[in-house]
Chain A
Amino acid sequence: MAKLKISDLAKIRDRVHEQINLREDGAQVKITVHMGTCGIASGARDVLNAAMDELDKSGRTDIIITTSGCAGLCSQEPMITVERLNEEPIKYVFVDNAKMRQIFNRHAVEGEVQTQWALAKGSEQ
C-alpha cells in the first residue's frame, strides 16, 4: 500500500463506508461478533467459530462475518449484531455456539429475527 495523501482518505472513506453499510459486493448480511477481553472470556471465540462454520456449510458468499471490540454490556456477553441489508441491526446477548448456529440459519439466512435472544434493534448512534 502506497502512503496516503489527504485526498486518499476521502476515497477510502467512501469506498469502505459502502462496505460497512453492506451495499457493495452484494453483501446481504453482516454478523459482528463483539470480541473484547470480556467477550472472549465469556466465549466469543467459540461463537465466532460457530458462525464461520455455519458460513462454510451454507456456501453463501454474501454474508460477512466480522469482529469488533467491547460493546459495553459486559455482563451479557457474548454479544453479536446481525445486520441484514435494509433492515435494522439486531443485537443478541448471551450467545453461545448453539444459539449462534440457530441465529445464523434462521435470522441471517432466512430473515427471521430470533426474538427470544434479542436484546435490542438499531444501533447506539
Chain B
Amino acid sequence: MKRFRQHLLICGGTGCHAAGSADVRTALQNEIKKQGLADEVAVVETGCNGFCAMGPVAVVYPGGTFYVSLTIDDVPELVQEHFLKGRPVERLMYKEPASKDIIPDMKDIPFFAHQQLIALRNRGLLDAESIDEYIARDGYRALAKALTEMSPQDIVNEVKKSGLRGRGGGGFPTGLKWEFCQRTPGEIKYVLCNADEGDPGAFMDRSILEADPHSVIEGMTIAAKAIGAHHGFVYCRAEYPLAIERLKLAIEKATEYGLLGDNILDTGFSFNLQIYQGAGAFVCGEETALMRSIEGKRGMPRPRPPFPAVKGLYDKPTVLNNVETWANVAPIIIKGGDWYASIGTAGSKGTKVFALTGHVNNIGLVEVPMGTSLRTIIYDIGGGMPKKHRKFKAVQLGGPSGGCVPEQYLDLPCDYEEIIKAGAIMGSGGMIVMDDSTCMVDMARFFMEFVQDESCGKCTPCREGTRRMLQILEKICEGRGEMSDLDLLEELAAMIKDSALCGLGQTGPNPVLSTLRYFRDEYVAHIVDKKCPARTCVNLIEFRVDEALCKKCGQCFKACPVGAISWEKKQPAKIDLTKCIKCKTCIENCKFDAIV
C-alpha cells in the first residue's frame, strides 16, 4: 500500500453531505492534483463524527487539525497553506466554545427569572405520557389528601380561602362556584373542564393539556369529591389532537391505577372522566352552549339564571372550570389556601398564565404572579420589540372580548381589576404586543370580523349589530368613512352590549370601544385625512416615496418583488404605480417610513 505524507479525512455523513461535503471533497482532490500533491496527500471520506452542525468537517493527520464549515472557496487556501506550505489555516479551524461559565443560570435569564410557576409547575420537567413521573413530582398527593383527610366542605373552604378565580375569562371565584353546586341537592352532578380555547392567539390551555394532563384530571377529581359528582367531561376542541391524545392516555393510565373510576385509592369514592371533542366554534366555549353541545344539541347559549351550578349539563348541578383553573387546584390543596392567597394582589390571587405573542422577541407562555406589570412581562420577560426602529404602541388583552392598552398604562399591575380600569379584560390570558406598524382601526376590524363570524345568530343585536359594525369599520379602512360613523359605532356597541344574550355579543364590541377610546385620532386620520398612519390599510396608502424622508438606502428597491421601484446610489427611490401590486413589502423594509 502506498504511503502518503498526509491524510485528509473529510466527513461524508448525512449532515455534512447535506452541507455540501461531496463538492468540497471533489474540489480538494482537484486542487491537490493541481498542486502536484496527489501522491503525497490522501483524501479519505469518513462517516459522521457527530459534528454535523459545523459540517462539512475534515481532519488532517498527522496533527489532527480539525477544520469546520468548509466551502469550495476555502479549498485553494487550505491546500496551498496546509499541504503545500505546512501552515494550518487557523481561520477554518474549530474554535472551542468559550468556557462553561458564560452560560447564564436559568434564574438569571429574564424570561425565566420573573416567572413563578404553579399551573405550569411541571412544564419541561416530566414526560407527559408517564403517570409515574407525575406522581413522582407529588402528583395525586392532593387527591389522596382530599379523599382521606378532608370533608367536602374543607375542600371548598380551602379553595375559597385561596382566592382562586376562574381563569377562563370571567374571573368568578372558584370556591364560591363549587359551594353553590355543593349546596344544590341532587343525586347526579357533573364536573366539566372547558378546553375550548377559542381566543385568537391563546394557547395556554392546549399547552397545559399537552404537558401535564394529570394536573387537570387531579383538580377535577378533587372538585368531584367536593360537590359529590361521579361523572365528568373535558370539552376539548378537535383542533388540538396532541392534547386529546395525551389526555386520553392520561385518563387510561389514571383509571388503570385506580385514580379514576370506581373506588378511587380504595376510599370508596368514584369518578369517571370522558373527553368530548368539540368542533371548535368559539361560542361553544360559553358555558351553557358548551353543555348543550355535550348533550348532542347545537351549541347555542341560553339565558342565565338558572346557573349551571343549579341546572347545568342534562339539567343537573354542574361545575365548569377552565383548564388553567383546574391546574391550580392540586397545589392549593397541598400547600393550602393561605399560601396561594399570599401571591398576587388584593383582589386577584395567585398567578396567571399569558400567551405572549405579536411584536415581541420571546414569544411564548409565561406564568407570573398577579399584579406583575405589563412592562415586566413585555420588556423583561418578552425581551421587547424585535424591530429596533419600531416603537411600542399597544398591547391587546383578552382577545375578541378584550381591548388594547396603550403605552401610558405599561406600568399597570396586571390583575382583574386594574386591567378593567384600563378598558380591557384579563380574559383567558392572550397578550398580543403591537408596535407602531399596527393600525388600530384595522385591528378593531379584525376582531369584529372574528366576532361576526362566530356569532351563533340566536339573538338579533349580536347577529345584525356586529355585521353592521363590521361594515362600518370596513368602510373606514377603505377610506369611505364619515365622522358620524364614529358615533354610530359607539351607539351600536352600547346597544349590543346591553341586549345580547351571551358573553360573545356582550363583549364583542370591546375592541372597537377601546381603540376609539385611546386611538380616536387614528380613526379621524382615516376618515378626514384619508390616511392610515400605520400604513396598513392599502386603500389609504399612496405608494409614493416622500423624498424629504427618503435616506436613499435602496432597501425598498431590493425588496420589491415586481421591480416597481427604481433607485440608484445617492438618489431617492421612485415607485412606478403602474407596476406596483400594493404588497407593502417596501413599506416593511423602509426603516425611515419614507413610503407614504
Contacts and interface: CB of A to CB of B under 8 A. Distances in A.
Interface string B431-474: 00000000000000000000000000000000000000000000
A46 interface: no
Contact of B126 (A15, A20, A96, A115): A20
Q: Which of A5, A16, A79, A96 counts the most B-chain CB atoms under 10 A from its CB?
A: A16
A69 B211 contact: yes
Contact of A70 (B15, B53, B207): B207
Chain B binding site: helix, strand, loop or mixed by DSSP?
Answer: loop
B97 A114 contact: yes
Interface string B102-130: 11111111011001010011011111110
A67 B265 contact: no
Given A90-B103, A119-B109, A72 B256 contact: no
B144 interface: yes
B103 A118 contact: yes
A32 interface: yes
Given A4-B258, A32-B124, A122 B107 contact: yes
A125 B117 contact: yes
Q: Which of A68, A73, A106 counts the most B-chain CB atoms under 10 A from its CB?
A: A68
B127 A66 contact: yes
Contact of B124 (A9, A72, A76, A104): A72
A105 B252 CA distance: 37
A20 to B, nearest CB: 6
Contacts of B366: 72
A101 B48 contact: yes
A84 interface: no
A61 B395 CA distance: 50
Interface residues of A, number: 59
Interface string B88-106: 0000000001111011111
Contact of A75 (B124, B242, B263, B362): B362
A120 B265 contact: no
B568 interface: no
B212 A69 contact: yes
B210 interface: yes
A13 B128 contact: no
Nearest to A95: B53
Contacts of A124: 106, 112, 115, 117, 123-125
Given A72-B365, A75-B364, A67 B127 contact: yes
A68 B211 contact: yes
Interface stretch (B70-78, B133-141, B291-299, B475-483): B133-141
A19 to B, nearest CB: 8
B61 interface: no
Given A9-B144, A101-B15, A40 B125 contact: no
Nearest to A39: B210
A125 B50 contact: no
Interface string A98-125: 1101101110000011111111111111
A102 B53 CA distance: 7
A82 B120 CA distance: 20
Contacts of A68: 123-128, 211
A121 B105 contact: yes
A6 B144 contact: yes
Nearest to B48: A101
B57 to A, nearest CB: 10
A4 B105 contact: no
A36 interface: yes
A124 B206 CA distance: 21
B54 interface: yes
Given A70-B207, A120-B109, 20 more contacts: A3-B256, A4-B257, A6-B266, A9-B140, A13-B136, A13-B141, A16-B136, A37-B207, A69-B210, A70-B211, A72-B115, A91-B106, A97-B15, A97-B52, A101-B52, A102-B54, A105-B51, A113-B103, A121-B104, A122-B106
Interface of A: 1-6, 9, 12-13, 15-17, 19-20, 32, 34, 36-38, 40, 54, 66-76, 79, 81, 90-91, 96-99, 101-102, 104-106, 112-125
12 contacts: A4-B257, A6-B267, A12-B132, A13-B141, A37-B203, A68-B126, A69-B210, A72-B366, A96-B53, A98-B55, A102-B50, A106-B51
